[in-house]
Every structure is written in C-alpha cells, then in structure tokens.
A = this chain, B = another copy of it.
Amino acid sequence: MERVKEISRVRELVGAAREDGGRIGFVPTMGYLHEGHLSLVRILKERTDFVVMSIFVNKLQFNDLNDFDSYPKDIQRDMELAEKAGVDLLFLPDDSEMYSNNLTVVDVHEITENLCGAHRPGHFQGVFTVVSKLFNIVQPDVAVFGQKDIQQVSGIKKMVTDLNFPIEIKVAPIVREKDGLAMSSRNKHLSSEERNNALALNRSLHRAKKMLMSGERDSSIIIEAMKEEISSVTHGDMDYISVVSFPDLKDVDRIDGDSVIALAVYFGDTRLIDNMLIEFTGDSLNCII
C-alpha cells in the first residue's frame, strides 16, 4: 500500500494503474476506520483493480467546530487496517493540500433540506464540495458510500447525475455491532450507559419494521411508536425521526413507495444516526436495516 500526501502523486499512481488497464475504486473516509469502512473496501476489491482510500477530516462539513476538534483520530491504526483490507493507495492530504482560499461550493438542493440537512447548516455543501474535489483528484470508475449516511449518499448520487461525473456510485449496507448498534467513528465517545441506551435506535427501527410488516402505512403512527422506544431510554435531544421517500427524501404521510425511515438522536453529547430502507416490489416490501 502506498501512502501519499500530495495530489500530484495520487494522479501519477492512479494514472499508472489505469494505463495498466485497471479499473479504479474509491472510498472517501474521515478515518478512525471501523468494519463499516472496511466493508466498502471489500466491495471495491471485488469490482475494481486498484482501490484508493482517502482519509481527510474535512473542516468544511463541520457546522460545529467542537465536533471537528473532537473527531476521533488514530492514523497508525487506520493505516494498518487499510493495508490489511487491501487498499492500494491511501491518500492522506493535509488541510493545506486540499484548501487554499477556497471560494467554490457545490450544493444539491431539496434533497438536503430535511433530516440532517435541517439540523447541520452547511454540512452537506461541505460534503459535496470535498467529494467533488476528491472525485476530480482520484477520477475513480466506482466510488462506494454507506447506507448509514443515507442523505449523503442520496445527495451524492444526485450530484453525480446532475454534474455528469463519469463515476458509478455503489451503496453499501449498514454494518452493525453484534447487538445491533450501527458502526460509527462517533461510538467511541459513548459511555457504557449511553452505548447501552443507543441500542434503542436499532430497536426502534425493528419496531417500525414489525408495524410495516403487519400492514401499518401511516408515517405518524410509526414515528410515534419509535419516539416511545427512544424516550424510554433518553430524555436528550431527538433531532428527528422522519419518514421520507427514496431517493428524493421528501417527507411522506403514507408509506406506499420506496422510502427511508431515518433518525438522529443525542446520547449524552454524541449525536448518532441510523436508518432503514424500505423497498417495494409491487405490494410486497423489503426492509433493509
């Protein structure tokens, strides 16, 4: 595995891999890798010949600078995990390599208006801007993003279509701990009590799934049940529990087409997100938690 800090060197190495006829795969990350990230690498190993991972904690997407400062880091461990997973090129740019008096922004409207977009002003603009940069630096054939950040991946898919990036976007399933907690670099911040309480996220999604399977289609009734599940363990902030259409992410009152149930809840100071994809085939539906 090559470790590279310079954009020009990434271009050289990717260019050489492409000249050898290789397809290029790309996983952008903010580091502090967990099994979720590594599952993305494995998806690319099956589909491409040269896997690039970036680790860059992108200040532009942090609406809360305390959150930026406390974002967990362990670059030594990240390098070992990336190498073991089969990453060919690890791109570790400094802030100054990525930004120099940046004035350009990329944004996707509508799709970013609710869910996390409503609670983290500027967050998605920062994501789309840095992902555009990384796409232009790496020029991958395929890039993969996790379902866990469902609004991010919906926005990126729309951006790629709208701006004609010649890149295929894959969505990878959420990877969970054995007890159901969705993997997240932020889980590290949880006390053991908070971690235990956070299992209510997954429980609430399973409760929603059960209701859907028994024929419930009313969003507000499902949301109420999920709220009950969450309030039983935390009196903290619930940013949102929402039912939205997929992939355009508009609030829906009734679930009768592809949808997402998504939620963001604070456990102590740590904000966690989780979601479930609901896919319809005719009248039957499939819930992907």
A binding-site residues for B, Cβ under 8 Å: 7, 11, 100, 102-111, 128-129, 132-133, 136-137, 139, 158-159, 161-166
Q: Mostly helix, strand, loop or mixed at chain A's interface?
A: mixed
Does A104 lie within 8 Å of B159, measured CB to CB?
Answer: yes
Residues of B within 8 A of A108 (CB): 103-105
Tallying the copies of this chain within the complex gives 2
Q: Which of B103, B137, B161 sits near A164, CB closer than 8 Å?
A: B137
Does A11 lie within 8 Å of B103, measured CB to CB?
Answer: no
Compute how far the CA of A136 lies from the CA of B161 in the bound complex, rounded to whole angstroms. Answer: 11
> Would you give 21 A-B contacts (Cβ < 8 Å), ordered by A?
A11-B166, A100-B161, A103-B109, A103-B111, A103-B162, A104-B106, A104-B107, A104-B108, A104-B109, A105-B109, A106-B106, A106-B132, A106-B163, A107-B107, A129-B163, A132-B163, A136-B163, A136-B164, A136-B165, A136-B166, A137-B164
Closest residue of chain B to A110 (Cβ to Cβ) is B103
Closest residue of chain B to A132 (Cβ to Cβ) is B163
Taking A102-B162, A107-B107, A136-B165 as known contacts, 11 extra A-B pairs with beta carbons closer than 8 A to each other, sorted by chain A number, are A103-B108, A103-B109, A103-B111, A103-B158, A103-B162, A104-B159, A105-B106, A106-B106, A133-B164, A136-B164, A137-B164
